[in-house]
Amino acid sequence: MEGVVSGMFESGLHKAVVLLSGGMDSAVTVAMAREQGYQVYALSVDYGQRHESELEAAKSVARMVGVVSHKVLRVDLDGIGGSALTADIDIPLDGPVGEDIPVTYVPARNTIMLALALGWAEVLGSTDIWCGVNAVDYSGYPDCRPAFIDAFEKLAQLATAAGVKGARVRIHTPLIALAKAEIVQEGVRLGVDFAQTVSCYQADSQGRACGRCEACHLRAQGFLAAGLVDPTRYVSGAPTLRTARTRCKNTDSSNLKTV
């Protein structure tokens, strides 16, 4: 990532806390913050997710992009449960992307993560928080919508010393209106190595994806629509390309380019 990384740590640059899950969207978000000249303080949250390999992916992405600091905080959301990602609930496989909020929604996850980011930002003297939420090619989670982000920004003004003193706390969401294919293209432009990222809801300990959950489908569709080969490592027999092709019928998968 030479174009993004070089020359970014000179004095006077603004600090930003960036939420880094280890998935493709957050990796692109970190790279975008770096390109815009921010000193990135990356924050990952171990909330009890069953796909723990995404935290290892987050560490790889942080090294790849070149952040100032990377913290991994533990929050016991598996103690609350209520989600297929944190409790003993089956992850839906091979089904169509529905309109209802899926069981992979983790109650209050983004609220809690943004609150942690807000706290760290205040300690750092930063008023800029970045996160890779998306409201186009996504699972319909309520805490990925623009209305939620707007509401959290208003909360931040009331809940922090900086906000009370007149500083404007900004939640940057550069991917919120982008299609997954556009996110892929932006990442390629910035030099993001997507092979380092993990999107799958039930990735194994080595970060290999199942190719059957909704996250895998959305990711595969994005690369297919962008005309690029998805560098993700999949478990043996994963039906990734075939499934993505049926969901993106107007794309010719015979001419895909390697990232």
Domains of the chain: 2-195 (3.40.50.620)
Six-digit token string for 250 = 């107007």
For residue 99, what pLDDT band results from cuts at 50, 70 and 90? Answer: low
Residue 248 pLDDT > 60, yes or no?
no
- pLDDT of 8 reads 32
Place of tokens 């982008």: 178
pLDDT score of 98? 59
Q: Is the pLDDT of residue 220 over 80?
A: yes
Give the chain's mean pLDDT: 88
Q: Is the pLDDT of residue 51 over 90?
A: no
pLDDT at site 28 = 98
Instruction: Give the pLDDT band of residue 11 (cuts 50, 70, 90).
Output: very low
Average pLDDT value for residue range 17-36: 98
Name 46's Cβ contacts closer than 8 Å, sequence gap at least 6: 52, 55, 72, 73, 74, 75
Percent of the chain with pLDDT over 70: 86
Look at residue 67 in the predicted model and tell me its pLDDT. Answer: 97
Using an 8 Å Cβ cutoff, are 41 and 15 in contact? yes
pLDDT at res. 138:
78
How far is the C-alpha of 252 from the C-alpha of 218, rounded, in Å? Answer: 17
| Predicted pLDDT of residue 36 | 96
Note the pTM of the prediction, 2 decimals: 0.88
| 170-184: average pLDDT | 97
pLDDT at residue 107 greater than cutoff 50: yes
Please tell me the distance from the alpha carbon of residue 50 to that of residue 202, in angstroms, as a whole number. 7
The partner residues of 172 in beta bridges, in order of sequence, read 130
**Once rounded to an integer, what is the mean pLDDT over residues 78-95?**
92
Q: What is the pLDDT of residue 259?
A: 59
| Band (249; pLDDT cuts 50, 70, 90) | very low
Q: What is the largest CA-CA distance in the chain?
A: 57
Residue 34's pLDDT band, with cuts at 50, 70 and 90, is very high
pLDDT of the residue at 257: 59
The mean per-residue pLDDT over the stretch 93-116 comes to: 88
